[in-house]
Amino acid sequence: MWKVETMVEQKERRVWSKKGKTIREMMKISDDDKIYELLDKWHDDDEYDNILNAIFEIPRESWSIKLWFRVISAYNNKEEFSEAIDELEQLRPNCVLKEDVAKWYYMYAYIFYARDQYVVAKFLLDRGLEYDSEHESCISLKEECEEYIAKKIKLIREMLEYLDEIGENIQNELKEKDELRDCEGVEFWALLSFPVAFWKVPGVSHCMGRNTFYKCSSEEEKEQLREYLQERYNITDFESTKKVLSSFHNGQDYMDFVSFWNGEGFDINQLNEINRAHFEACMFFGEVIRDYVTDKGIFAADIVDMMMILRLTFACDLISNYEYCQTALQLADLAQEYYHSWKEYAMAYFCGGTYAVYRGELTNLKETCDFLISMVKIVKHLDYWYYNWESE
């Protein structure tokens, strides 16, 4: 009677024959077995459940690499990607031949491709082609990914150029009119959360704008906002607020990329295949925004979100006036340490916010473009936020 074993058990029970093959290797379904005629027919008829049912009737010990790939292909075609990933992770140690490794990368890349995460897919395909440079499926899918990526990145660059130009024009116009407000006092704290001050969240019935000490207008609204903060961020008091504030890391991500560009990064080969592809995809986007930010990077994106969360927690009395002011002052000092003008800060936010969406959506460029489009829509209101913020 056949026994289904784990990968570890299979590895530990390798018994070599005189011909150099394991007993299990001699018992595997051959690649020219007649079962493939049936599997091919079901594949052509989109009957993927039949494929899976038939294969799972065969003990795993008898699966060849080819048969295992048929399982993964069926799951991919059914868009049951979690199951496909589970099979891919189990299969990877068994892939030795270069064409099998290349196909493994292709099958994994297809999952990200199907989820519109073209950049991660592209980097996985690059790795596959390192093993088999003539793998046709890898080549074809990579070309499709690169074409899509090029179009979206072109659009992203155009929008960033527009935001950069508009920001420069507004700042120059206000300087000429001598209408720049001085960058001082508590009003500056509100400035730091300028884009998300327009958020519509439960319990906030009016635009917070530059009202640094905004409070919900009723106990009912305060309770609505508290429920929102607990559900969204698990915030219930000052300690949990600090924990959330410390979790923002877009700025540090970018500085990690800078280390790589300077030849000082960690050994990327220490990452597993998927984490490496994710890191490379994120660093790729870091290069896209690199031309629009200073050497201080995109910490502004973190400061904007941290300041807004701080304002919300204060608005519903989850934190005290002292806790609010002390934390807000620290964020204000950090912003003025990193950036020397309002325009620098704004562009760092636009780039950092775009990166945060890109990373949060696992490199989905459509969602990233949609975020930038929303930023383009509010840029006409930037003169409302401009301050005379210039320092050495």
When divided into structural domains, the chain yields a total of 2
Q: In this structure, is residue 54 part of a structural domain?
A: yes
Q: In this structure, is residue 1 part of a structural domain?
A: no
The DSSP secondary-structure symbol of 16 reads: B
Final residue in a domain of this structure, among 112, 145, 178: 145
Distance CA 252, CA 255 (A): 5
Final residue in a domain of this structure, among 145, 176, 200: 145
Whether residues 96 and 33 share a domain: the answer is yes
pLDDT at res. 23: 34
Whether residues 295 and 169 share a domain: the answer is yes
Final residue in a domain of this structure, among 111, 145, 179: 145
Whether residues 377 and 346 share a domain: the answer is yes
Whether residues 45 and 73 share a domain: the answer is yes
Q: In this structure, is residue 2 part of a structural domain?
A: no
pLDDT at res. 182: 61
Which distant-in-sequence residues (6+ apart) come within 8 Å of 367 by Cβ? 357, 358, 361
pLDDT at res. 329: 93
Whether residues 34 and 153 share a domain: the answer is no
Whether residues 129 and 187 share a domain: the answer is no
Q: In this structure, is residue 209 part of a structural domain?
A: yes
Which domain range does residue 352 map to? 149-388
Distance CA 314, CA 323 (A): 9
DSSP secondary structure string for all residues of 307-368: HHHHHHHHHTTSS-HHHHHHHHHHHHHHHHHH-SSHHHHHHHHHHHHHHHHHHHTTS-HHHH
Q: Which amino acid is at 107?
A: M
Whether residues 265 and 304 share a domain: the answer is yes
pLDDT at res. 392: 47
Q: Name beta bridge partners: 181.
A: 387
Q: Which residue has the tokens 């290349």?
A: 102
DSSP secondary structure string for all residues of 209-260: TT-TT---SSHHHHHHHHHHHHHHH---SHHHHHHHHTT--HHHHHHHHHHH
Whether residues 203 and 159 share a domain: the answer is yes
pLDDT at res. 386: 58
Please answer whether residues 281 and 116 qualify as being in contact, where contact means their C-beta atoms are separated by less than 8 angstroms.
no
Q: In this structure, is residue 231 part of a structural domain?
A: yes
Report field, pTM of the whole predicted structure over 0.85: no
Q: In this structure, is residue 202 part of a structural domain?
A: yes
Q: Name beta bridge partners: 272.
A: none
Q: Name beta bridge partners: 388.
A: 182
Whether residues 176 and 109 share a domain: the answer is no
pLDDT at res. 288: 95
Whether residues 231 and 93 share a domain: the answer is no
Whether residues 280 and 336 share a domain: the answer is yes
Whether residues 126 and 155 share a domain: the answer is no
pLDDT by 10s per residue, the chain, length 392: 223 334 434 343 333 323 334 334 445 777 778 899 999 999 999 999 999 999 999 999 999 999 999 999 999 999 999 999 999 999 999 999 999 999 999 999 999 999 999 999 999 999 999 999 999 999 999 999 999 999 999 999 999 999 988 878 877 776 776 766 666 668 788 888 877 777 789 999 988 877 889 999 999 999 999 999 999 999 999 999 999 999 999 999 999 999 999 999 889 989 999 999 999 999 999 999 999 998 889 999 999 999 999 999 999 999 999 999 999 999 999 998 998 888 888 899 999 999 999 998 878 999 999 999 988 887 766 655 555 565 44
Distance CA 193, CA 232 (A): 18
CATH number, domain with residue 40: 1.25.40.10
